Structure 1
Amino acid sequence: MCCSVGFARSLGLALLPLALCCIVANLLLLFPMGEITDMQQNRLASYIWYFGGLGGGGLLMLIPAVVFITLGKCSCCWNESLMMCGSVLAAVVGLVGSGYCFVISGFALAQGPKCFTSLGWSYPFAEPIGRYLLRPETWSQCLQPVHIVEWNVTLLCVLLGLAVLEFIICLLQLTNGLVNAVCRPCCYKQDLYDCN
C-alpha cells in the first residue's frame, strides 16, 4: 500500500502544473492578443465565459492534486484505507473537472471565435460546425481582433490536450484506489503483521 500512496503523490505532482497551465490558458482566452477591450465590450465567444479551463481543468483540478500530494505515509492500516477512499473521491472530482474542460473547449473550438467581419460582430465559422479548422484560408474573414482565430485555436487545443492528460491521471488514481480497496481484504493479515 505504501507504493500506492507514493504513486498517488506522483500523480498529484503531475496534476499541479497541468491545472496551473489550464488556468493560464483560460485567462489568455479572456484577453485576446493581450487586449482587455474585447472582454470589456463583451466580444468574446460565448463558450469562453463557461471557464472550462479556469474552473474545470484548473481550480477544480487542484482538489485531487492537493489530496494526492498530501496522502500520509504508511502508519496505520485503517487510516490508509480511509486515505485511499478519499483519493478515489478526489479522482472522481478530477474526472468531472477534466471532462468539463474538454467538453467546453471542444464546443468553443467547434463554434469558432466571435470577431468583426464585413457584416459586423458575429460568429462567421459557427455553420457548418468546425469546418473552418480544415480551411485556414477562411480565417482572414475575421478582421478584428487580429489573429483571433489562431489565438483561440491554439489555446483551445492546448486546453483539450491538458484535459485529456488530467483525465488519464485521475483515471489512473481511481483505478489505483479501487484496486487497493479490492485487494485490501486479501492482504489484511499481512498488513496487520506489517503495522505491528
Structure 2
Amino acid sequence: MCTGKCTDFISKALIPLAVLSIIANILLFFPEGKVDYASEGYLTPQVWFFHGIVGAGLLMFIPALLNTRLDEKGCCGNRCGMPFSVLFNAVGIVGAGYCLIVSATGLVDGPYCMIVEDDHYSWMSPFQNDTISTHYLNLTGSYLFNQDVWTTCKKPENVVLWNIVLFSMLICFSSIQVVLCATQIVNGLIRVCCGTCMKNEVV
C-alpha cells in the first residue's frame, strides 16, 4: 500500500475511534441512565480520570487531523515534516496508552457500588476489597469470571456489567489507536527513506 494512502486510512480510522471513546467514557458517568450517581459521587473512581474523553478522545484528534494536513501539504514525505509526524503520533500513543491503563485498572478493580451486609448498606468497591471478597463473597479469583457475585452490587443496578462492557470497549479502542499511531510513525520513517508512491518518482 502506498504510504500516502496508509496515512489517509489511519487518519480517518482514528477519528471514529476517538468519538466512540468519548461516548463510552460519557456513558460511564450515567449508570442506569441516571445523573444521580455522578452528582452524588457514587461512581467508579477511574471514571473521573476522563481517560476516554481526553486520552483516547480529544488528544487523538491531534494526529488524526494534523497528519492529514501535513499529507495534503506534502510535508510527510520529507525530512522537514518528519519530526512533526512523529510528535503528533507520539501524543496519540500517550493519550491512548493512558486510556488503556486506566480502563484496565477500572476493569480489574471492579465498580464502586452499594452492597448490603447484615441489613446495613454501604458504598465501596467490593471486588477490590480483599476482606470483603474473601470472607463475605467467598471470591478467590477475579469477579470477571464469576457472575454469581455480580448481584453483590445492589445499586446502581447492573453496574458490574455496565462497567465491564464500557471499560472493555475503551481498552479495545485505545489498543487499536496505539497500533495505528505506531504504524504511522513507521510509515513516516519509510516515507523519508524511500519516498512516497512510485508514480511520484522521476524516471
| TM-score between the two structures when normalised by the length of structure 2 | 0.83
8 Å Cα contact 1:26/1:52 also seen in 2: yes
Q: 1:64 to 1:74 in 2, by over 3 A?
A: closer
What residue identity is the alignment partner of 1:95?
I
1:78 shift after superposition: 9.2
| Greater CA drift, 85-94 or 125-134 | 125-134
Aligned position for 1:7: 6
Q: How does 1:19-168 map onto structure 2 within 5 Å? A: 19-73=18-72, 80-118=78-116, 119-127=121-129, 131-168=142-179
- Structure number with the higher helix fraction is 1
In the alignment, the residues of structure 2 paired with residue 103 and residue 50 of structure 1 have an alpha-carbon distance, to the nearest angstrom, of: 11
Residue by residue, what CA displacement relative to the aligned partner does 1:76-106 show, whole Å, maximum 9, x if unpaired? x798433333222111111111100000000
| TM-score between the two structures when normalised by the length of structure 1 | 0.86
In the alignment, the residues of structure 2 paired with residue 36 and residue 51 of structure 1 have an alpha-carbon distance, to the nearest angstrom, of: 16
Q: 1:178 to 1:160 in 2, by over 3 A?
A: same
In the alignment, the residues of structure 2 paired with residue 5 and residue 156 of structure 1 have an alpha-carbon distance, to the nearest angstrom, of: 33
8 Å Cα contact 1:5/1:71 also seen in 2: no
In the alignment, the residues of structure 1 paired with residue 49 and residue 86 of structure 2 have an alpha-carbon distance, to the nearest angstrom, of: 26
In the alignment, the residues of structure 2 paired with residue 105 and residue 149 of structure 1 have an alpha-carbon distance, to the nearest angstrom, of: 14
Q: How does 1:181-192 map onto structure 2 within 5 Å? A: 181-183=192-194
For residue 70 of structure 1, give the secondary structure of its aligned residue in structure 2. helix
